[in-house]
Every structure is written in C-alpha cells, then in structure tokens.
Amino acid sequence: MKLTIQVNEGPYQHQASDSAYLFTKAALEKGHEIFRVFFYHDGVNNGTRLTTPPQDDRNVVQRWSDLAAAHNLDLVVCVAAAQRRGIVDDGEAQRNKKDATNIAPGFRISGLGQLVEGGIQSDRLVVFGD
Amino acid sequence: MSMLHLVNKSPYERNSLSTCVGYVKAGDTLLLIEDGVYAAVKGGAAAAKLGGLDVSVLGPDLAARGIGEDKLIDGVKVVDYAAFVDLVEAKDKVQSWL
Amino acid sequence: MSEVKKFMYVNRRAPYGTIYAWESLEVVLIGAAFEQDVSLAFIDDGVYQLVKGQSTAGIGMKNFSPTYAALGDYEVNKIFVEKESLEERGLTLDDLQHLTWEDEDEDWAEKDSIRLVSRAEMADILAEQDVLFNF
C-alpha cells in the first residue's frame, strides 16, 4: 500500500504529530511505502530544528528527521503555511530576505501541489489533525 | 466502497463523533484514537451513539488515559498501531472527523 | 497517465476563528490544476464559510469569502451543503452566497454550484469518493 500522510498540527500542542509518526512507523514496519508526509497548517512547525524539548520526553522533530533518514522519507512542509509561520530554508531566506533559516534535517519546503499529488499517486491518504 | 472513520476528539468536547455516526455505513469501521477513545467508556453518555457500529479503539491511547479495557462497552475491539495500518488497507478510504 | 480520482474536500469549521477554512480553500485552488473530479462538502460549522455579507475590517483580517465565488472559474462546481447543518444553525440557502458556474457544454449557461443535500445523501456522496481531505 502506498500512503500519503497529512499532519495538520504542530509538535506538542496536539497529539496529531505523535499519532502520525507512530502510524507512519507502523506502516513502514509492515513493509508499506510512504509516498509523502505532508505538513500543513501549524503542522509546518514540526519542521523547525530549533526546538529544545525536555530530556525526559520525546523529541518530536528529531524523531521525524531520524525516521526520514532511516527510510528515505519525503517530509514536505507547505510553503504558504511555512511562510505564515516562519519556517525557513535557504531558498525561502533568499527569496523573502530573511536573516536566518530553521528547517530541520529531512524536511523540505514545497507547494500544496505536493499534497494533491500525494492524493493522486497514493492508495490512501490519512489525515491527522485537531 | 468501504470507509475507515477516524474520530480523535472527545465526544464531550466536540460534535465530531455525533456527526460521524450519521455517516457510517454497513461495511465501514469507526476507529477511535487520541481523545476519541473516551466515547467507548461504559456508562458514558456518548457510548449509546456507538450502538450497532463496528467500533475499534486504539489501545495505546486507552492505556495513556488510564482506561482499562474492562471499562469499555461490549463489542469494541482494542487494536494497536499495526492493526490501525491494517484497517487503513482493508477499507477503501479514510475520513478523519477532526 | 494516472486515472482521474474523485477528490472531496471536507469543510467542518467556521471561518476566521481558525485558519482551516482559508487554508483548505488554498488547497482547492491549487488542486484545480490537477484535473481530478473535485467536490466540496460543507458540514457542521463549515456551512458558516459560505454565509454572504462577510465584512472583516473590524477584525483586521483579510476577507477571503470572494474566493468561493471564483471557484466556478476553476471548474470547481460540485459544492455540497448539508441541510441538517444549516437548519441546526438557523440558516437557509438564502443566507449563503449564490455560487455559480458556466457550463461550456450548454452555451455557457449559468448554473448553481451549491447542491443542498441531506445528511443521508451527503453520506452517499462521501462513500463514492476516492480521496477525502480534512482540515
């Protein structure tokens, strides 16, 4: 089964990102293919590398980066939502004249077309939100 | 075509479960996750809404909230994340009632 | 060439209190270019998104409601509104924007995009879809 997962909420505030992560991990363990994980609305905040969560709790952002590295996942942060919320990569910093970037490893910023394409190319779309 | 309905919010906080049950058809499954699991607790006002439906509950979310399986209404299946994945595959599509 | 899928964008939230209504519309607009079989569903508080006469100057937000009127130009013309949701909120079709599209197969005749359906009918419509987006 080819899956696209949509994450609508940011780390810690809602359980959405956790549920999405655990679901994605379980799907990979069963040998399914993750076409894309698309982060929309506040979900783009999962893509900042600047979090410092407490040592005794899970590191939501790092977990996604590690899963992406281990399985060559395509983690996409929506550009329009990212611009609104301040998630920036080199390209965006240059285009919008920002003095810093904060995108976490394994994530890339791209258009909403990537979500639509996920819906077209995948067998299932699973949405996690509030 | 069958559907997997996901409900992730408590029925006492939001109307998502109430709306959802009006959309469940024969052959569909309703999976309660996150705060949605509270709907399956025996004696709760929301439990009545689940009558006649094929309901599963995500075990890890029950455990996190201190809800023992003995506290659930009859007929509800407790599943893990692996079974959640299987449900997504078994049904034709997923509707998230956020 | 991949097959055409039935895409449904499900809207259940009111506008302005949260961003979901607007950001959902942004997906619809981008998605229009992908030539899938697109429908929109307005259920629960989602019906409030279509209420006419929105004026946002006092809250300092952009009024994005004119975008619904433009959907017809993007060939998005299957807009299902749930009757029970309207009635529960004391609304009628008259409270909503009159959304239309031009049917090129019928000499550009103007037709209504909004289809008022019961919950039972909406359930049948959802059951026919391939992909369901929720925000």
Rounded Cα gap, residues C83 and A68, in angstroms: 44
pLDDT of residue A40: 98
pLDDT of residue B94: 98
CB A42 within 8 A of CB A85: yes
pLDDT of residue C78: 98
On chain B, the residues whose CB falls within 8 A of the CB of C130 are 92-93
Per-chain mean pLDDT for chain C:
97
On chain A, the residues whose CB falls within 8 A of the CB of C61 are none
Query: How many residues would you count in chain C?
Result: 135
pLDDT of residue C2: 61
**Does the beta-carbon distance from A19 to B33 stay under 8 Å?**
yes
**Does the beta-carbon distance from C2 to A120 stay under 8 Å?**
yes
Say whether A25 is catalytic. Answer: no
0.95 exceeded by pTM: yes
Query: What are the structural domains of chain A?
Result: 2-128 (3.40.1260.10)
Rounded Cα gap, residues C119 and C84, in angstroms: 6
The CATH number of domain C6-134, selected from 3.40.30.10, 3.40.1260.10, 3.40.50.1820, 1.20.1260.10:
3.40.1260.10
Nearest C-alpha of chain C: how many angstroms from A39?
11
Topology annotation, domain B3-97 = Hypothetical Protein Ychn; Chain: A, (3.40.1260)
Q: Does residue A89 carry a pLDDT above 60?
A: yes
Helix (H, G, I), strand (E, B) or coil at A105: coil
Interface contact A91, partner B, CB < 8 A: no
On chain C, the residues whose CB falls within 8 A of the CB of B16 are 12
- ipTM value: 0.98
Helix (H, G, I), strand (E, B) or coil at A88: coil
Residue numbers of chain C with a pLDDT score lower than 70: 1-2
Nearest C-alpha of chain C: how many angstroms from A18?
17
CA A13 to chain centre: 15
Domains of chain C, residue spans: 6-134
Q: Does residue A7 carry a pLDDT above 70?
A: yes
Q: pLDDT of B12-61, one tens digit each?
A: 999 999 999 999 999 999 999 999 999 999 999 999 999 999 999 999 99
Nearest to C81 by CA among C100, C103, C101, C96: C96
Domains of chain B, residue spans: 3-97
Tell me which long-range contacts C32-37 makes (C-beta under 8 A, separation of at least 24): C32/C74, C32/C75, C32/C76, C33/A113, C34/A113, C34/A116, C34/A117, C34/A120, C35/C4, C36/A116, C36/A119, C36/A120, C36/C4, C36/C5, C36/C6, C36/C7, C37/C4, C37/C5, C37/C6, C37/C7
Rounded Cα gap, residues A39 and A91, in angstroms: 18
